[in-house]
Structure 1
């Protein structure tokens, strides 16, 4: 039996640049996606406003169900992904990978030769998504400890590994992956 057309799993979220007015909804989404660190609502507002060209929201029926914050690393040909949040309604759709492809294809990120992000060893969901993303685009992935538990976090947080993924030269040919 075919799925009902009103079933959220059959609909495709709209991917778009965030607006400053999305800040509160982004903050709420991140709050509902543990183990993500909660930034202040103001930080999410600034990201949505000042860094909108390198961030993306996914919207379904007028509700923000996905978010990636990122920026080009100054002095490097690298795009850094700060946070990926996918709400309960949109899980299992491959939305995280779709948002990543959407971002690396944007003109503002097209000069990036690598995508970088930091992940703690225990965050299995993030490791799985970024490994799957690397495989789907044919990119190599490697990591090394970067922000150390004791040197950088004074023992208050686990070590963050810098994950680096090579990006294909001709990203315009990348399809949205699932």
Structure 2
């Protein structure tokens, strides 16, 4: 669905009530690791400053869930990001990340990280475009090998994407 982003999509901090909608969006996406509903409720409740949701006509159509790394508080780790299949292709994921980075309470974030499976072209493209927007590097390294996951669970390797250093004067799309 092609939409006019400036008039139809609103971006805001999540509320605990958004956790269930995020859980449903992840379940319906087919491409994201599906976690417990509790995990999404908790992230919305305890980490609203480092999470964001996108809504159209009051309906949640996208989300970014992240937190500051305890040992690197200037690094925002994006745990998951997703956009409703009918709204993909409208830069909602990119705008969610930019809204997070432009918040006053996040002004000291200098790097953004996320782990991405090797077959996830959409996420790979998102983080590479974000680095280009900010005119900065995107360093990709091996992070979680398949052998780290429990026996019986088939899981691809997870690559770490590190975008930065970020400067708040760059990387804005409207």
Q: TM-score scaled by structure 2?
A: 0.90
Given the alignment, which residue of 47, 55, 67 partners 1:71?
67
Q: 1:49 aligns with which of 30, 45, 50?
A: 45
Q: What's 1:3 paired with?
A: none
Q: Which has the higher strand share?
A: 2
1:156-175 paired onto structure 2 within 5 Å: 156-169=154-167, 171=168, 174-175=171-172
Shift of 1:174: 4.2
What residue in structure 2 maps to residue 27 of structure 1?
23
**Structure 1 residue 132 corresponds to structure 2 residue 129:** yes
Task: Pick the structure with greater CA Rg.
Answer: 1
**SS of residue paired to 2:8:** coil
Contact 2:94 2:130 in 1 (8 A): yes
Q: In structure 2, what is the Cα distance between the partners aligned to 1:167 and 1:93?
A: 26
Unpaired segments ≥5 residues, structure 2: none
Aligned Cα RMSD in Å?
Answer: 1.8
- Structure 1 runs not aligned, ≥5 long: 1-6
Q: CA deviation at 1:152?
A: 4.1
Equivalent runs, 1:1-178 vs 2, <5 Å: 9-10=3-4, 11-76=7-72, 77-154=74-151, 156-169=154-167, 171=168, 174-176=171-173
Corresponding residue pairs, total: 170
